[in-house]
Structure 1
Amino acid sequence: MRLPSSSSSSAAPAAAHGGAGHGGRVVSAFTMRAVARMSRARWFIFLRRVYQYQNGPRSDLGSNPFNSPGWLALELGAIVAQMVLTTAVVATSPAERPAWPLRLWVAAYNVGNVLSLPLLYWRHRHSSAGRGDALSGDLEMHGASDDTLIRGGAGGSSYLMNKARAFLELFFAMWFVMGNVWVFDARLASFHRAPRLHALCIGLLAWNAVVYSLPFLLFLLLCCFVPMVGYALGYNMNSASVRKGASDEQLAALPRWRFKELDVARDREHDDQECCICLAQYREKEEVRQLPCTHMFHLKCVDRWLRIISSCPLCKQELN
């Protein structure tokens, strides 16, 4: 058997390396595109607004994201679904005899859901009125003054409704703790005596646990996971989510070519010999991109910049 020549043996690893490099670039481009679309998605922008509303100064936040029509509809759907589910389970399990008064716990939980409906309607009216967001938000964050209570009207109504919501949230928190004590008391082996009621209570407790842990989950997502992904990809998802970045269609419409030394020699006065983003000299056959203002940059450098802010790094001219 004749052994392969040295040239053919070295060409195979080179081809494999080239294929692997091309595959890596394809995966990297696909990942960058997916992350860019996610950072401009409505749900990601909404989560950022929620996190900023909960942790930032009220004067810098604008409208309350929890009073948006989509969020209010989601809350209404969750409340109605819980009421229907609890009523159906309690009605179909009259023979169950739990050790703890789980029916009382479910009934009080349903009363809290019923009392949440007027608050939901009030929030909807204030958000549709256009001025309820700022007023109710300021009262919620800073409290209402005595002057507001004396004037009455919208300010007094907002103050009373915010107090009612605070008391209702306190009730749900205390009832959540009580439900954990009753449901997960393993000493009495009550689960086998009332499996449906226990399953219902466990589901409601799990739902409330997710709701209470939402601020912590948002912290992990926006302060830990997102910065790590952005650092690994070289892409600022937090800044891009403000809808200032350029879209893939805008980037594709910009001219691009391979750099040539002769082009720079013909036009020295435009200072196009180095990329002002990475401060590196252009090299022969490097991919460059030109913006509408005629400024030129490395393709990778300016694409990352434009995905964050859709303006020229030098003259600040917008792409549009």
Structure 2
Amino acid sequence: MEEEEDPCGHRLVDPTPLLQSPTRSFGIHISSLISRATSRRVLRQPSMLVRETAALQLEERQADWTYSRPVVVLDVIWNLAFVLLTVAVLGSTARERPSTPLRVWNAVYAMQCLLHVGLVYLEYRRRSRRRAEDDDDEEGLVESRSSVPKRLESLNTMVSFLWWIIGFYWIIVGGQALLQDAPRLYWLTAMFLAFDVFFAVFCIALACVMGIALCCCLPCIIAFLYAVAGQEGASEADISILPRFRFRQVNQEEKFDLENQQAVAPTVTELTRDSIDEIALSPDDSECCICLSQYEDGAELHSLPCNHHFHSGCIVKWLRINATCPLCKYNIIQAREQV
């Protein structure tokens, strides 16, 4: 799937879905939903941009987790077990005569499982080769998101959804007659349909939880990402050189100057090891975009080279995961803005 741009100019990539259901998966596109929300004027705020960036980070971690060796092995074993079960049931029900073509439905379902296994394996091999070659540039990332196996997997997901509807229709039409004429085929089909529904509900519920957490408790998401991914962003040395400030609220005279676009920054003096400069900000600019909390007098802030500022605790956790500004994607290590 090709890259898209949201109304704020940020490029989005098609996120990798979660662990596949018996044959397919239902992708979670949190960043796309947040991006559409930011197109509304009332939500076009820095805090929403931060949450969109965090959603992309979460989806990238999810993609890495989905195609990790343990998950791929589990996925392959799970789907092959469904294939073997289908073969066994079809072989033992030659004398059953269902009123609807359940035998055909289960055979196609098993073939979709095999196709899914093949596509997952190909994507896993391709990602493994890319990691071995240390191909971490942006062009390589775009290629990974639009690879042929992933395109085919998306097509397989769409076809399997339609096939699920057909199977459900045949079960309903057959009714009680299927239980009498072909009980094992009936229960095999019902089991596959139920598993697909379970995975769909699970993915939808997980998407809702992720969306609520991103909007209401972003620091929890950042802590989770750091626990899962470890320190893959900025090092402690990189973070330690960032300027720190102590926030103080502006007085009436400073507020008047800010409203009239006069002096907007405090005087900066050379810092000692234990001293921290004070910074006075306007009320409109005195909120941390990560935790959505207003700065309190005496709160310690970190300022990035791009002049965006955040609570020290919030931005340090973020930079340990990703060495870029959550607002403008300025890379504090490479001293350039990622585009």
TM-score (norm 1): 0.48
Question: Counting helix residues as a fraction of each chain, which structure ranks higher?
Answer: 1
Question: TM-score, normalised to structure 2's length?
Answer: 0.45
Structure with a larger share of its residues in strand: 2
For the pair shown, the structure with the greater C-alpha radius of gyration is: 1
